[in-house]
Amino acid sequence: MSEPAPSLCDVEAVQGTFDELGRHLADVTFCVVDLETTGGSAAKGSKITEVGAVKVRGGEVLGEFQSLVNPDEVIPAYITVLTGITNQMVIDAPRIAEVLPSFLEFARGTVLVAHNAPFDVGFLKHFSSALAIPWPGFETLDTATLARRVLTREEVPNCKLSTLAAAFSASTTPNHRALSDARATVDVMHALFERLGPLGVTTLEEVSTYTAKVKPEQRRKRHLADHMPEAPGVYLFRDAADDILYVGTSRNLRTRTRSYFTKAETRTRMGEMVMLAQRIEGIVCATPLEAQVRELRLIGKHRPPYNRRSKFPDRLSWLKLTREPWPRLSIVRAILDDDADYIGPFRNRAAAESALTALHDSFRIRQCTPRLAAKSRSSPCALAEMGHCLSPCDGSADPGEYAAEVERVRLAMTGDPADLVAAIRSRMLDLARTERFEDAAVWRDRLTAFLRAVVRTQQLRELTSIEEIVAAGPHPQGWEVHVIRHGRLAGAGILPHGVHPAGWTDALLATAETVVVGHGPAPAATVEETETVRRWLDSPGLRMVRGAWQTPRESAARHLTPFEQASASWQELQQPG
């Protein structure tokens, strides 16, 4: 439940992140590091004998770090032959407990680079842990991995540091001494960056995700994203006929759309889509939530061929309790304005059928599909003969008794299904006592499917029943404010720091969309839009500006968690091994 707050001016904004900003390589400070060790595995007892590092930014060397390290053990002879580091050289050197804090301070705030980074960074992290020194959580870049992605076998026979240094005419020849190898790695790194520049790979994020698997033709289309702004919004890929191929959303339109031409795209369909694209359209949105909602609406409206999710918001399964002289349950694909009771939507028809079975086996309402008159004289079905149906078909059912049974079903669907839960739990326990565990699991899954639908419907109605809510969440520039009417996003904007919220909010409300209410659990928007808005309302740091919403105490949600946990545990037990 979100509580009203008197003011937006007394809460500190959340700092933004670099997740999608795209840092240009010239602006990033790199710390290129190399280690010499007594062996290949810190976990198996190998020690560090030397640390060398070079700090660079924009091609300029900012500083160097070098120190021998006393490993407190004899250096193997073959290591001495390889590196030239002898026992005599390290006898007076500091221990790693002294060297490591100094190196971490030198490297703080940089991106760690190494040739075969898992080796060097693995040693550093191992001894940080062993010495209880907090690891700063560096981003890392591996020049060996990058070289394998950039270079071909025709250019270099392998991606060893010595091979690459020679191929790129590095100013320093690597010689298995830490500082020399770090200097050589700096030259290799810059040479690889120069190779990537003409391909349009100019940011750290693009370098980190670069792969040669992206076709050259795909890279050449990168100019399609040049006009995109660094702002949140929705992007649309269009073909030669200007038809929409794909709709997506991002907090940074420029970074995201450029990634389609540089990143490894494991989805074959996306590579195919990019090759067909002739234009990218960007729609800037005030907030990420507005972008998410616009994306859903555009996908639902245009149904682009390369979008898989959210294309058919009308293809949902609902469970309906009809309004007729002798009501019954039915699985339907649409909600009508017929005063019937609905729960859902279900993830698929199978889940809807499981929930239907749970109700049919717990209540004695009819399961036949014909519409029955108030007075019917048909032959009774087998269920009626077995006592599983009150038998309105043959005219023997008491209208009052049948209406009471229908009300029990309606309460389970729209209120607190405690009686149904208790009945099915009792049945599950009886089955378990006779060691019919799989049958008990079937009933558990039926009840879980039913409860999920009830909870989903109740959560939708909690929000869609409210005429208007104005809520605000922290934003680096102030507050992102949304107007929500009957579960539909009607307005969005950024309230800057220092601006009084009252007048600004009035202006936002005046320009917000007028929402026409329909019928059903989500009367003014798609279910997915309302649930997206609801998730945002549950986000940390939210403040209610006008209006409020809350979850009723007596709802189905309190029953669902134990059954979901039991289902998850059972599925885990079924896993092989």
Catalytic residues: 176
Q: Distance of CA 88 to CAs 34, 69, 79, Å?
A: 21, 12, 14
Strand pairing partners for 283? 234
Classify 234 as helix, strand or coil.
strand
Can you say whether the dihedral through the CA atoms of 403, 408, 413, 416 is positive or negative? positive
What is d(CA 112, CA 124) in angstroms, rounded to the nearest whole number?
A: 11
Q: Measuring CA to CA, how many Å separate 153 from each of 143, 267, 393, 575?
A: 16, 26, 80, 43
Cα dihedral 436→437→443→445 (10° resolution): -160
Other C-beta atoms closer than 10 Å to the C-beta of 5 total: 14
CA–CA dist 446, 353 (Å, integer): 8
**Interhelix angle for 437-464 vs 349-360, to 10°?**
110
The alpha carbons of the chain give a radius of gyration, in whole angstroms, of 32
- Nearest CA among 11, 20, 19, 10 for reference residue 540: 11
| Nearest C-alpha neighbor of 343 from the set 57, 104, 556, 128 | 556
DSSP 376-436: --PPP-HHHHTTSS--GGGT-S-HHHHHHHHHHHHHHHHS--HHHHHHHHHHHHHHHHTT-
